Amino acid sequence: MYICLCNGVTEREIRSCCAEEGACTMRDLEHCLGVGANCGKCRPAAKEILKESRSLNDSRSESRTILAGASA
């Protein structure tokens, strides 16, 4: 789904930027993809995706830590 119509940025691209580029703020997304740089109507939806991606990445990190501790 397109989130930022001004720059043609999709939800998938935002999630990818968070996972692969380490974007964790709206400023990061704006720099990486241009999200929210024009009209700003996409900012609330982009913030929600960013929040979801951060919590998903945090839970994955916790799982890796737990698994690494179990194998030690």
Note the pLDDT of residue 69. 61
The stretch 41-57 carries a mean pLDDT of 92
* Chain segment 4-39, per-residue pLDDT in tens: 999 999 999 999 999 999 999 999 999 999 999 999
* Spatial separation of the C-alpha atoms in residues 71 and 45, rounded to whole Å: 39
Q: Is 59 exposed, middle or buried (0-12, 13-18, 19+ CB in 10 A)?
A: exposed
Note the pLDDT of residue 64. 52
- Name the class of domain 2-71: mainly alpha
* 68 pLDDT more than 90: no
Quote the pTM value.
0.77
Note the pLDDT of residue 57. 72
Report domain extents, the chain.
Answer: 2-71
